[in-house]
Each structure stands twice: as structure tokens, then as C-alpha cells.
């Protein structure tokens, strides 16, 4: 799939029971889907009937900044990554319905329960030019980039290749309360941003912005997203971040729970 003059690259990160498998394909030279299947020793999550649930991420790298790009070099400086968050399709079925489908070899397709958007800054390029591209995209990206490229976060990126900004993580209301958002973000970062500088602006999503006053909403989200390993906070800039991301032990245990043998 092409976008403007750039190229979109689809990365499917399937964390499920099974062996590691990479499948690389090309469609008319315009896109290169990469399929990654991680090995999960045990349950990533279970539904109310204690069945094994699979969490699946499908990430698309949008290698074009639409009308802002003058060359492919611009496209690579700040890359938008859009991710669909999906769950095992069997979660909506009863035991009887699932057994019937399995007997027919007709396992239900994954259900999309949310979405996530992030941007990756490539610090290999001239940082002033990267700052200009970010400034042309959105005010949030510009503000975030300025904090790390020009202000107090500058020392944190001295030896890093990439800087990641998490724009948003959204889970449909009916699937909330099960830590799907935290697990999805942790899996995304484990696959693409391990050891890199990662941060976000903790601001309530549109459907929650009317529920809490601004400061209260930011405080609650700051506490929530700190669980994924963002331990530093700039109150002045409302930026929650970590200089070297790694998955917290509690999330690693929850996602990759060691399988018990009897």
C-alpha cells in the first residue's frame, strides 16, 4: 500500500503459542509486509472461562509524511506507526460454540479491540532537520521533539539511534479493565523500541476527557502508564518517559507466563 510518495510497511507481531516464524513478502515492490510470531511460553491472558487468549498486534509503518515530504529522506526522519490491537476471536464464543468451530476446522478470526499510534524519530539524521519535520507534523510532536533535541532531555538521547513517541493507545470500552492496553504497548515496545528512549503526553482520550478535570485526568493516566516502565516525568512539559525502555517484570510475567508442566 502506498501513501503519497512513500511506502507503507506492515509489521504483524503475533504473540502466541508456537515457534518463532518470520515470513517476508513483497507486493509489486510497493510494500514489504513483515510477519513476526513470538514464542509465548504459557498464557498471555485468559478470559472468564480460563481459556488461553492470544493478543495480536498489526503495525503499519507509514513511510510518508504526506504533503510535507520533499524527498524520501524526509519520510525516514519521523515515521508514523499505526497499530491494530486484536484479541483471540474465541473470546466471544461459549465453550460449546468454540468446540463446534474447532471440530469443523473453522477457528474464529481475531477481533480488533483497539488501536495505537506512535512516531519514531531517527536520530541518525541531522537533528535540526528532524526537529523541522516534527514541527510541520503536529504541535505535540514538535513539543516532544523539542524537549529531547533542544532542552533538558538532550543528554538522554546522546547514544541512541531512535526516539519513540506514543501518540495514543485506545481500547474499546467493553474490553477495558483487563490490562490489554498496557500489555499491547509493552509488546509493541519489546518488539520495536527495547533499550530506546520512549515517552508520551499522559492526556485522557476523547471519551474520557469529560469525565475528569484536566489535572486529575493527567495524574490518573500518569500513574497508569508508569506501570509500563515510564518512570520519569517532566511536570513542566507533561512528558512521561524513560531513557532506556525495558519491560517491567510484572508485565513480562503476565504476558509470557512460564508454562507449568504436570
Mean pLDDT over each residue of the chain, to the nearest integer: 76
> What are 128-184's pLDDT values in tens digits?
889 988 988 899 999 999 999 999 899 999 999 999 999 999 999 988 888 999 999
Q: Confidence band (pLDDT; 50, 70, 90) for 22?
A: very low
> What are 39-90's pLDDT values in tens digits?
333 333 444 444 455 788 999 888 777 665 555 555 678 999 999 999 887 7
Phi and psi torsions of 57, nearest 5°: -115, 135
Q: Confidence band (pLDDT; 50, 70, 90) for 220?
A: confident
Q: Calculate the CA 90 to chain-centre distance.
A: 23
Does 110 score more than 50 pLDDT?
yes
Cell of 110: 481475531
Segment 24-44 shows an average pLDDT of 31
Separation CA 196–CA 83 (nearest Å): 19
Separation CA 34–CA 63 (nearest Å): 15
Please, what sign has the CA dihedral across residues 161, 60, 80, 27?
A: positive
Of 45-54, 120-129, 225-234, least confident by mean pLDDT is 45-54
B/e letters for 20-35, b = 16+ CB within 10 Å, e = fewer, are: eeeeeeeeeeebebee
Does 237 score more than 70 pLDDT?
yes
* Polymer length of the chain: 262
Domain boundaries, the chain: 2-255
pLDDT score of 86: 92
Separation CA 145–CA 156 (nearest Å): 12
pLDDT score of 185: 96
Cell of 262: 504436570
Helical (H) or strand (E) element with 121: strand 111-122
Separation CA 168–CA 181 (nearest Å): 10
Amino acid at each position: 500500500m502506498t501513501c503519497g510518495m512513500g511506502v507503507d510497511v506492515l509489521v504483524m507481531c503475533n504473540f502466541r503459542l508456537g515457534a518463532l516464524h518470520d515470513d517476508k513478502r513483497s507486493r509489486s515492490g510497493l510494500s514489504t509486509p513483515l510477519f513476526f510470531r513470538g514464542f509465548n511460553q504459557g498464557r498471555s491472558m485468559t478470559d472468564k472461562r480460563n481459556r488461553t487468549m492470544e493478543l495480536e498486534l498489526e503495525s503499519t509503518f507509514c513511510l510518508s509524511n504526506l504533503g510535507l515530504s520533499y524527498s524520501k529522506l524526509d519520510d525516514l526522519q519521523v515515521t508514523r506507526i499505526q497499530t491494530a490491537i486484536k484479541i483471540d476471536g474465541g473470546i466471544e464464543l461459549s465453550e460449546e460454540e468454540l468446540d463446534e468451530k474447532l471440530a469443523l476446522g473453522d477457528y474464529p478470526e481475531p477481533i480488533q479491540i483497539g488501536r495505537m499510534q506512535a512516531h519514531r524519530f531517527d536520530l541518525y539524521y541531522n537533528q535540526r532537520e528532524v526537529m523541522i519535520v516534527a514541527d510541520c507534523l503536529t504541535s505535540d510532536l514538535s513539543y516532544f521533539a523539542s524537549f529531547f533535541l533542544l532542552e533538558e532531555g538532550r543528554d538522554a538521547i546522546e547514544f541512541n539511534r531512535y526516539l519513540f513517541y506514543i501518540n495514543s493507545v485506545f481500547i474499546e470500552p467493553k474490553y477495558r479493565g483487563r490490562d490489554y492496553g498496557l500489555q499491547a504497548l509493552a509488546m509493541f515496545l519489546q518488539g520495536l523500541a527495547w533499550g530506546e528512549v520512549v515517552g508520551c503526553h499522559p492526556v485522557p482520550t476523547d471519551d474520557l476527557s469529560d469525565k475528569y478535570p484536566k489535572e486529575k485526568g493527567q495524574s490518573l493516566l500518569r500513574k497508569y502508564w508508569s506501570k509500563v516502565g515510564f518512570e520519569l516525568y517532566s511536570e513542566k512539559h507533561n512528558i512521561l518517559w524513560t531513557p532506556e525502555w525495558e519491560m517491567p517484570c510484572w508485565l513480562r510475567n503476565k504476558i509470557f507466563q512460564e508454562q507449568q508442566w504436570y
